[in-house]
Amino acid sequence: MKTRITELFGIDLPILCGGMVWMSTAPLVAAVGNAGGLGLLCGGIYTAETLAAEIDRTRALTDKPFGVNVPLLWPPAAELMDVIIEKNVKVVFTSAGSPKKFTPMLKDAGIKVGHVVPNAFLAAKCQGAGVDVIIAEGSEGGGHVAFDEVSTMVLTPAVCDAVDIPVIAAGGIGTGRQIAAAFALGAEAVQIGTRFIATNECEGHTNFKQKILDAKETGTVVTGKKFSPVRNIRNTLSETVLQMEGEGKSANEIMNYIGMGRTETASVKGDVDNGNVQAGQISGMIDDIVPVQALVERLIQETKECIERLGGLFKS
């Protein structure tokens, strides 16, 4: 499958695994690359030193391209960029901040740059800042979501209409039908998160994966809507936070209650009642844990079948 995105990144398939804290570590990122897609390490848990080690660990598992996602609010973001350049990583996706600061220096180093956006206005601004691709991330997606709450169904075509550079659709994609839909909406690749957690190679805790398998499409909720919206699977933590929000508690009180490390509590330690189980609405359609290679083959097969079926709609 050739699109502007596969050409740009030198990959066979337009399927990307997004950066995910504690989840998109070397084994998953390498497996996605080996399957023909592109995986992104998640810079948001690393220091310069630990990111360098994770890049080496990834290279030991694959000789295929991979990237790093750097949330710009992450305090060591500037140091991570230096490591990425030194280590000759070829793709960086930035999120949660303005791409203006780092895009010129990354591009000078020959790195392809993408930025994650929640609306068409920001997409046009990112194009102006010189990024190579836009990742349009809809509100169905897992993890931190935007205040805007625009769904992938509306966001993708709106962003595609606002820019000339290629667009990657993200949020709520976990089957070939959804990949075909993303292409119909104008995207030239998809970035998948939650579906890739339910794979053998993902190093996230088994309890976290089980929460995804057990969830229905109504099983996630956005907490912190007024100060730091995060889509996560309903549990003791999310219910408590929702209750505090309902009672009108301040952002500070709620943040103090949550404290630090709740994502690690769920993802690494496996306490999925008191930890933050970041996952998207697509959890409701995920019912198996499979090797990445098998998942990617299935996604491509489903996409083909769907596009063939649609092609037949006007023949009769």
Ligand X SMILES: Cc1cc2nc3c(=O)[nH]c(=O)nc-3n(C[C@H](O)[C@H](O)[C@H](O)COP(=O)(O)O)c2cc1C
Q: Which residues bind ligand X (CB under 6 A)?
A: 18-21, 23, 42, 44, 69, 71, 95, 116, 137, 140-143, 170-173, 191-195, 278-280, 282
Minimum distance from CB of 8 to ligand X (Å)?
Answer: 18
3-state SS class at 143 = strand
Looking at the Cβ atoms of 233 and 246, the one nearer to ligand X is 233
Minimum distance from CB of 313 to ligand X (Å)?
Answer: 27
Helices 26-34 and 48-61: angle between axes, nearest 10 degrees: 40
Minimum distance from CB of 217 to ligand X (Å)?
Answer: 11
Minimum distance from CB of 20 to ligand X (Å)?
Answer: 3
Looking at the Cβ atoms of 182 and 279, the one nearer to ligand X is 279
Backbone angles phi, psi at 163, to 5 degrees: -135, 165
Looking at the Cβ atoms of 127 and 283, the one nearer to ligand X is 283
Whole-angstrom Cα distance, residue 67 to residue 259? Answer: 30
Looking at the Cβ atoms of 34 and 151, the one nearer to ligand X is 151
Whole-angstrom Cα distance, residue 202 to residue 185? Answer: 29
Handedness of CA 78, 84, 86, 90 (dihedral sign): negative
Beta carbons within 8 Å of 191's beta carbon, 6+ residues apart: 16, 17, 18, 135, 137, 168, 169, 170, 173
Minimum distance from CB of 94 to ligand X (Å)?
Answer: 8
User: In the bound complex, which residue of the shown chain has the CB atom lying closest to ligand X?
Assistant: 193
Residues listed for the chain: 316
Beta carbons within 8 Å of 314's beta carbon, 6+ residues apart: none
Looking at the Cβ atoms of 43 and 157, the one nearer to ligand X is 43
Looking at the Cβ atoms of 53 and 73, the one nearer to ligand X is 73
Minimum distance from CB of 249 to ligand X (Å)?
Answer: 25
